[in-house]
Structure 1
């Protein structure tokens, strides 16, 4: 018998799961809208050349590509050695590349500083495993046209506010700057052409530790003197502990990192603290935070919560991406909440939902009577489901309760609206 399961790495959602996801999404939308972000929508597909233009990092390797229309077997064989000749479109693997294309298309119609929200599914040809799906929801906010610390601060404040509204208080943001990373690698003596590989290894610091990082750098063939200097720096006495601030940032970095980057980070922290009404911002400077996307040009950050060991979102500044479409650079920075990760952590009561009623009717009740009763309750603002009485009434009501219904009433022939006696479920 053929499988009737959803495709590997993709999921069905039962009504109760879908309702819970929509409640979380409604909070995210409301909070971001309150912070001045306007929602946009882009197509699920983009042109192949845009998705594979070298601006999507490793995600480009995970793109689902769409065959050109009208190809026959002979054409497919002829182009077998050139996949690009077979495809002209692809499913989006993130929302950032489509946003860059969107802005390039509609720049004349948008404000000078554009604050966008995109909440939509994306597709990646991942190897399916726990927590990794081939189709998943992304929730992105971006600010285009502002190169100041204000943009990062707005993104961070809006995202922390959103987590608070989802009752995930106590979140912090790990923050770094790719320019600080580059300066640090320069101080240690790593050559420019070996830095991409070095950053990949540094990104494993939390998993394999300083000794593991140093060993892997040597295996990669990185400059021996640079690896020695980096290993010595990692083995120094801890100096970057304490609350976020200039002293903590400088103590976390080797001497020689420019003041401009530090000033930018401090400006973000000052703005976030002021907005949150806190003496110290909920930021943690992490000099070894890398984030894998090659398009980041400045500030990078990740959202952390004490209830889990993994990040709940992240983002950064990508000032060079839009210029690939426009021919001139436009500053841009974005933050993405990991919806699939947070939705399982959130327990939001559906307190604002309309009353949900199940009408359990006898077999002999006329269809016209049932539909009229249902219409009367719907007109009063209730959500209504009709169910024929079964021998296992307890099981029927348990299923209705699991689907989010809060009350029920029994209906016999001749029952009117005034006769209905609503009883609580659960």
Structure 2
């Protein structure tokens, strides 16, 4: 029986054309972030298990891949299984996001970093997801974070840099949905929700666009949350926008005024970012403490990235709180929207040669073209030349030339489009 040769479930191989598209997109994102004053760092793919499972990663901690300690005996496995404590057998784990490693990195290197540190992290992460369309067990994250800036300047810089990256990628029609965790807390307090039910209530509220008002009300009731006027409040918040100050009407009793004022500052500072105030926006990570935001697109039913302020996380490592805010682009979702042709095919050429062509002559021709700034592939002529050229075109090559026996210099080559 043949051995399976596919990648592990939820992980993928990338053919040359796909890899080229991904690298082009990553290059654009990197250069866009760097242009806005962010510096790239690198952290290990693994962190200590205790750190990964310290409560900083929210629900993602449940999806982490653990690395077993060396030298374990069968009895150790049996005892841990009987105690339902298999995690105690691991001392390391693959990172499931880039935020926890960043918090550790900052705590480790704070003395060597500027007072306000603007970081770029672009790297793969791993989660034990149930593989399905758009969800993978290994995927790329593209994060920018600002540590040490407590004011709105952090959010303004993060959103500005992210919008620039989206524009440079050629993605149009995107907007930024924005809210504040303080507004959500104020809303739950207005409903008299016990603090121990906050996170579960927010998970339900986050479904508003899918299960509508009636569905949210019904699910909240199953949690024992049934304050008078919940349905009316939900109807109200679905209609709330930026016009609260101009309406002249009494401000909603559930609105946190200070948080809303901070959001207005962002809107005024970012007139071209298409900010949309959405008091139902939750974001799943429990470590957010203030502003939260997501990238929305009118043609897609899912976000293309998001982030927010997480002022309490780094203090877990340092013993004193440090303000922090971050934005992550959903690379795997965005790269699927990009066109494969990046305009470089014209500069990628194929030289088709006969089987018995002089290798030295071929190398000289190739070297001259490479020196002139071209990308060059040598291909031995086959009976099915059309199929050969089609494969080259799919790999990103745009032109070809046939090397004749009498060809001496690169100037003698006659290039034709691969489509001909």
Q: Report what 1:424 is aligned to.
A: 417
- DSSP-derived class of the 2:229 partner: helix
Instruction: For residue 414 of structure 1, report the CA deviation from its aligned partner.
Output: 4.7
- CA distance in structure 1 between the partners assigned to 2:73 and 2:243 by the alignment: 63
Match of 1:255 among 253, 256, 260: 253
1:285 aligned partner: 277
Work out whether residues 354 and 383 of structure 1, in 8 Å CA contact, stay in contact via their aligned partners in 2: no
- TM normalised by structure 2 equals 0.94
Counterpart check, 1:397 vs 2:398: no
- 2:307 aligns with 315
Alpha carbons of 1:288 and 1:238: their partners in 2 closer, same or farther (altered >3 Å)?
closer
Deviation by residue 1:188-213 (Cα, 9 ceiling, x = unmatched): 21121222211111111111111111
Change (3 A) 1:328 1:161: same
Between the aligned partners of 1:398 and 1:87, the Cα distance in structure 2 is 49
In structure 2, the partner of 1:190 is 193
* Structural mapping, 1:197-236, within 5 Å: 197-222=200-225, 224=226, 226=227, 228-236=228-236
Distance 1:251 1:374 in 2: 73
Shift of 1:235: 3.8
Instruction: Give the aligned partner of residue 410 of structure 1.
Output: 402
User: Structure 1 residue runs of 4+, over 6 Å off?
Assistant: 248-253
Whether 1:68 and 2:62 are equivalent positions in the alignment is no
**CA shift for structure 1 position 354:** 7.6
* Number of equivalent positions: 415
Contact 1:63 1:91 in 2 (8 A): yes
Distance 1:327 1:353, change over 3 A: farther
Residue of structure 1 equivalent to 2:54: 53
| Cα distance, 1:377 vs structure 2 | 1.7
Which segment drifts farther, 411-420 or 123-132?
411-420
**1:271 aligned to which of 269, 289, 305:** 269
Distance in structure 2 (CA, Å) of the matches to 1:158 and 1:25: 14
CA displacement, residues 12-51 of structure 1 (integer Å, 9 cap, x when unaligned): 1000000011111111111111111111111111110110
Q: Distance in 2 between matches of 1:132 and 1:165?
A: 25
Query: Alignment partner of 2:321: what SS?
Result: coil
Shift of 1:413: 3.4
- Asked if 1:357 corresponds to 2:349, the answer is yes
Which residue in the other structure is 2:328 paired with?
336
Question: The residue matched to 1:390 in structure 2 has which SS?
Answer: coil
1:85 aligns with 2:88: yes
Q: Report if aligned partners of 1:171, 1:303 keep a CA contact under 8 Å in 2.
A: yes
Taking only aligned residues, the RMSD between alpha carbons, in angstroms, comes to 2.0
Task: Provide the residue aligned with 2:122 in structure 1.
Answer: 119
Which runs of 5 or more structure 1 residues have no equivalent in the other structure? none
Paired residue secondary structure (1:79): helix
Structure 2: runs of 5 or more not aligned: none
Q: Is the 8 A contact 2:244 2:251 kept in 1?
A: no
Equivalent position of 1:101 in the other structure: 104
The alpha-carbon deviation at position 369 of structure 1 amounts to 2.1
Call closer, same or farther: CA 1:246–1:109 in 2, change over 3 Å.
farther
Judged with a 3 Å threshold, the aligned counterparts in structure 2 of structure 1 residues 425 and 235 are, in CA distance, closer, same or farther, namely closer
CA distance in 2, matches of 1:344, 1:94: 21
Quote the residue 2:132 is aligned against.
129
What corresponds to 2:5 in structure 1? 4
Q: Once the two structures are superposed, what CA deviation does each residue of 1:40-72 show, in whole Å capped at 9, x if it has no partner? A: 111111110110001100000000000112223
Q: Judging changes above 3 Å, is the alpha-carbon distance between structure 1 residues 79 and 248 closer, same or farther for their aligned structure 2 residues? A: farther
User: Does structure 1 retain, via aligned residues, the 8 Å contact 2:46–2:93?
Assistant: yes
Cα pair distance change 1:153/1:237, threshold 3 Å: closer
CA 1:363 to 1:22, structure 2 compared with 1: closer, same or farther past 3 Å?
Answer: same
How big is the shift at 1:372? 2.3
Does residue 382 in structure 1 map to residue 368 in structure 2? no
CA distance in structure 1 between the aligned counterparts of 2:115 and 2:286, rounded to whole angstroms: 26
Instruction: Specify whether residues 315 and 5 from structure 1 end up closer, same or farther in structure 2 by C-alpha distance, changes over 3 A only.
Output: same
- 1:203 touches 1:288 (CA, 8 Å); kept in 2? yes
